[in-house]
DNA sequence: GCCATATTGTCAGTATACTGTCAATTAAAT
DNA sequence: ATTTAATTGACAGTATACTGACAATATGGC
């Protein structure tokens, strides 16, 4: 037997899932606003950073390093390639794989966008008191980590991927 | 002059924006998993709740009550109508407006899905200690509220909309 | 009453996200 | 070595999200 309680909007407003969705939208809006001078979305920025720190990574491993869906990432890579921020080169030892590298333009945009990204990230938490910012960030980091396996694409950090290297 | 610091993945992993995105994806995954018996997404659920608590609301005001984009909501409403969980009726006093009402099936699915939604919401925070759950939820609620105007579609709760009533 | 303005729903275009599938290719089993 | 498995990038289909535009309709100033 289901419930008989009157339904109010609190069923939505106080649900963590709703708050996470809302906060994510706010985060994207702030990122776009701060970084509108650069032709980069938050997802594209994360992908660029990962390619920058892992030159020659392939799409599947990139997906694990930033925890983005492999299908989605295909389109992201396409757009980054169209903007000439990255190049795709076929891997010599495995003809299925295409390796990803930053171009000069990609490295440049990454270098230049950093201050704006930092500003956007700061603005997201700015309304809170400094101590609360720290607390929230710590709890959020913890929660994302502990819920890692609950997402379709769990994060597999660099270390966990090294043994998958082609010539290891 | 931009920076010269070596870029690591921490530029991504520790950014609040990245953590919010990740947590939102986890939240959706848990919702879908718990509610797979019901043909409802998180967004559709929120819309249904709002229509349930505001029978005869129109799409624009619905968008303000759940803080979802008006364009996006059009498609959501379409799908809810296709599933016959809601109906759209033209407003008699304003021929631009279409009023939204729950169907019997819509009310039924809302009633039945509640326990699963609650379970999903609980699972999102479960990895944290109970005290930490409270803290995170409180800070998150605060942050979303204080950042309300930063999002493209700020939340306008019921109260703020009452004076817009047709026959007020 | 007429005209500038605002509102409403809709649509086209772009960008995440996820599910499921597929061909090509590689690796593993025996 | 040949069959079987798994992996890789790609694709089709669905569902959010946002931008910008549009026609139909209402509303306000005058």
Q: Is A1 exposed, middle or buried (0-12, 13-18, 19+ CB in 10 A)?
A: exposed
Question: Which overall architecture, per CATH, does domain B10-162 show?
Answer: Orthogonal Bundle (1.10)
Q: Which residue of A has its CA nearest to B12?
A: A46
In angstroms, the separation between the Cα of residue B4 and the nearest Cα of chain A is: 8
- Residue A164 half-sphere exposure toward CB, CA atoms < 13 A: 13
Query: Per the CB < 8 Å rule, is A111 touching B66?
Result: no
d(CA A107, CA B145): 37
Stated as kind and residue range, the H or E segment containing B117 is: helix B104-125
pLDDT digits (tens, 9 = 90+) for A139-168: 999 999 999 988 878 888 765 565 444 332
For chain B, the helix, strand and coil percentages under 3-state DSSP, each to the nearest 5: 60, 5, 30
Tell me the chain B residues in contact with residue A50 when contact means C-beta distances shorter than 8 Å: 9, 12
Q: Could you tell me the distance in Å between the CA of residue A57 and the C1' of nucleotide D9? A: 14
Query: Per the CB < 8 Å rule, is A23 touching B139?
Result: no
Give the model's confidence band at B157: pLDDT under 50 very low, under 70 low, under 90 confident, else very high: confident
Q: What angle do CA A119, A124, A126 make, to 5 degrees?
A: 85
d(CA B79, CA B45): 12
Domain boundary assignment for chain A: 38-111
- The answer to whether residues B48 and B102 touch, using CB atoms and an 8 Å cutoff, is yes
In which region does residue A129 sit, left (phi positive, over 0), alpha (psi from -120 to 50) or beta (all else)? beta
Q: Average pLDDT in the B128-146 region?
A: 97
User: Given this model, what pLDDT does residue A66 score?
Assistant: 94
pLDDT digits (tens, 9 = 90+) for A81-136: 999 999 999 999 899 999 999 999 999 999 999 999 999 999 999 999 999 999 99
What value does the mean pLDDT of chain B take?
91
Judge whether residue A58 contacts strand D, using its CB and a 7 Å cut-off: yes
Residues 48-107 of B with CB under 7 A from strand D: 68-72, 75-76, 79, 94-96
Residue B155: both structure tokens together: 């939340």
Strand partners, A87: A101
Q: Which of A1, A4, A14, A21 to mutate to test the interface with B (most CBs of B within 10 A)?
A: A21
Q: Could you tell me the distance in Å between the CA of residue A59 and the C1' of nucleotide C23? A: 18
Tell me the chain B residues in contact with residue A130 when contact means C-beta distances shorter than 8 Å: none
Annotate chain A with three-state secondary structure.
CCCCCCCCCHHHHCCHHHHHHHHHHHHHHHHHHHCCCCCCCHHHHHHHHHHHHCCCEEHHHHHHHHCCCHHHHHHHHHHHHHCCCEEEEECCCCCCCEEEEECHHHHHHHHHHHHHHHHHHHHHHCCCCHHHHHHHHHHHHHHHHHCHHHCCCCCCCHHHHHHHCCCC
Across all strands, nucleotide nearest B61 (CA–C1'): C8
Q: What is the CATH number of domain A38-111?
A: 1.10.10.10
pLDDT digits (tens, 9 = 90+) for B54-65: 999 999 999 999
Q: Could you tell me the distance in Å between the CA of residue B133 and the C1' of nucleotide C18? A: 28
Distance of CA B139 to the CA centre of its chain: 18
d(CA A164, CA A27): 34
Interface size, chain A vs chain B, as Cβ–Cβ contacts under 8 Å:
200
């Amino acid at each position: 037997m289901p419930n008989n309680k009157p339904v109010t909007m609190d069923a939505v407003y106080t649900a963590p899932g709703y708050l996470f969705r809302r906060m994510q939208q706010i985060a994207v809006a702030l990122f776009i606003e701060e970084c509108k001078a650069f032709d980069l979305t938050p997802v594209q920025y994360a992908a660029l950073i990962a390619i920058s720190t892992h030159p020659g990574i392939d799409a599947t491993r990139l997906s694990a390093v930033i925890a983005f869906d492999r299908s989605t990432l295909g389109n992201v890579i396409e757009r980054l390639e169209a903007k000439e921020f990255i190049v795709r080169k076929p891997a010599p030892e495995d003809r299925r794989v295409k390796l990803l590298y930053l171009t000069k333009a990609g490295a440049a945009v990454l270098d230049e966008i950093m201050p704006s990204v930092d500003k956007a990230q700061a603005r997201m938490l700015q309304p809170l008191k400094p101590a609360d910012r720290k607390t929230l960030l710590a709890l959020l980091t913890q929660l994302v980590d502990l819920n890692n396996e609950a997402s379709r694409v769990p994060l597999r950090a660099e270390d966990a991927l090294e043994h998958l290297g082609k010539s290891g």
